[in-house]
């Protein structure tokens, strides 16, 4: 009876090791297959937003994004030709803070970072 119990205990330990190895491999494969899920665009703001302070046509736009893997928000700025001209990360800031910064830029309050 004791031998059977020892064999069962060993089988359980073997299965636990196999499950841990399988879990690790699944995580590795998941990271390889789905890297795009870690980065997400949240919103877009247009420069010289005509509903507020400027009569000039829009001058480019910016996109607020979130990188879930690094847990950080940021803003990318683009010119009228859709070329990325600047990027800014906001570590330890909330989505609301970053959205406010983008909105301030669209209203002409915040300058485009260079």
62-95 pLDDT, tens digit per residue, is 999 999 888 999 999 998 888 999 999 999 999 9
User: Distance between CA 58 and CA 27 in Å, rounded?
Assistant: 44
What percent of the chain lies above the pLDDT cut of 90? 35
User: Distance between CA 67 and CA 95 in Å, rounded?
Assistant: 11
17-27 pLDDT, tens digit per residue, is 888 888 788 77
Q: Is the pLDDT of residue 33 over 60?
A: no
Closest among 59, 114, 44, 63 to 86, alpha carbons compared = 114
Q: CB neighbours (10 Å) of residue 29? A: 10
Averaged confidence pLDDT in the chain:
83
What confidence score (pLDDT) does residue 30 get?
A: 65
8 Å CB contact between 114 and 105: no
User: Residues 57-85, buried b or exposed e (16+ Cβ, 10 A)?
Assistant: eeebbbbbbbeeeeeebbbbbbeeeeeee
Q: CB neighbours (10 Å) of residue 106? A: 23
Q: Is the pLDDT of residue 7 over 90?
A: no
Q: What SS3 state is found at 53?
A: coil
What confidence score (pLDDT) does residue 57 get?
A: 59
CA dist 32 → 24, 28, 29, 53, 67 (Å): 13, 6, 5, 46, 16
């Amino acid at each position: 009876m004791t031998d059977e119990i020892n064999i069962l205990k060993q089988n359980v330990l073997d299965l636990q090791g196999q499950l841990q190895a399988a879990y690790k491999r699944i995580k590795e494969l998941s990271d390889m297959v789905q890297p795009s899920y870690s980065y997400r665009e949240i919103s877009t703001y247009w420069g010289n937003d005509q509903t507020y302070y400027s009569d000039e046509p829009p001058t480019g736009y910016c996109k607020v994004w979130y990188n879930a893997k690094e847990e950080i928000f940021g803003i990318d700025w683009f010119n009228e030709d859709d070329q990325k001209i600047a990027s800014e990360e906001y570590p330890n800031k909330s989505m609301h803070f970053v959205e406010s910064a983008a909105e301030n830029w669209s209203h002409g309050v915040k300058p485009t970072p260079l």
